[in-house]
A and B are shown apart, each in its own frame.
Chain A
Amino acid sequence: MRAPPDAVTVLDELEQDAVTELVNLGISRAALSLAEMVREEVSLSVPKATLVNREEAIRTLGEREAKNLVAVHQIFEGEVNGRALLIFPEANSLELVRAVVGGDLSNEEIIELEQEALAETGNIILNACLGTMADQLQRSLRVSLPEILHGDSESFFSLAPPPQPGEQVLFIYINFAVRRRNINGYIALLLDIPALAALRALLREYIARVAGN
């Protein structure tokens, strides 16, 4: 279905730069937290924040990754409401847990800890990211408890309540590389039409603040 004509479907160059800059600040903070947790350096690829519709987000993630994905899902509420997902291949999930809890545990123990460790790790990464963005936009956000989901790109981008026509996904591809391990992750922020309009208003304020005369 097509988005209503007044819907925000594209961001202009400065708004795009502002989103990328905010995400960059957020992800850098998240990487520092992750580096402390795994006691190793965490390198990051340049996060490119792109605004795409739901179908494109499903397709992009589906093309890059196999079906078996795991996501840490959190709902955020404030001036901008939406959901945040930290997504990575299921095959990476035990590796991430092992990196966080240390190498001395048996496979059984790691599997037992998996849900809890993923929720905790996801919570720290997503909160670092969302919190930094909210601080920069001078607003506060409430973030729900983390929930672990298993599925594929289609199921992650179709969570209840059913998405509205024209719903946009702020889809951010990041690559967390923990030294000696290779853990790929994605962050997606799902925003509906009013949320995107609210975000755009905040981005304009932010742009005026950092670049205005």
Chain B
Amino acid sequence: MNYKLLIVDDSKLARMAVRKALNALYPDWTQIEAADAAEAVKAVKEKAPDIAVLDFNMPGRDGIDLAAELRASRPGMPVAILSANRQREILDRTKAVGAVFLAKPLTEGAFGKFLKGALRELNKAQS
């Protein structure tokens, strides 16, 4: 099945890096990009992505705040938080909103593992 992945990051380069990893793992998937929280909320409403990857460190609202809002509007959507900041507080907040933590720099191995888990969740919800 062809899934839709939302990538939210204020850095164009970081979005390109996620895109590269996704192309290597699931080249058929559709990629939706947003540069900030407002664009992400709009994209979720209009394009109904299946999975979202959010940068933690963005100007304005951070990725975990945004994750909480996105999961409230689409409870079944698997969400990952991407961050170089691995302090306990960030890990705990990520867990509390039901998201998965992915360390920057993103590796294909870690990203692939998250996407596999996300697919399992989506399949379970559909069956």
Contact = CB atoms under 8 A, between A and B. Distances in A.
Contacts of A113: none
B42 interface: no
Given A20-B11, A21-B11, A28-B84, A46 B58 contact: yes
A210 interface: yes
Given A20-B11, A46-B59, A35 B105 contact: no
Given A44-B85, A211-B20, A25 B11 contact: no
Interface residues of A, number: 24
Given A18-B13, A25-B105, A213 B85 contact: no
A99 interface: no
Contacts of B59: 46
Nearest to A179: B89
B50 to A, nearest CB: 23
Interface residues of B, number: 21
A24 B57 contact: yes
B105 A136 contact: yes
B20 A210 contact: yes
Interface in B1-43: 11-14, 16-17, 19-20, 23
A3 interface: no
Interface string A39-75: 0011110100000000000000000000000000000
Contact of B11 (A17, A32, A136, A212): A17
B104 interface: yes
Contact of A46 (B13, B14, B57): B57
Interface of A: 13-14, 17-18, 20-21, 24-25, 28-29, 31-32, 35, 41-44, 46, 136, 207, 210-213
Interface of B: 11-14, 16-17, 19-20, 23, 57-59, 83-89, 104-105
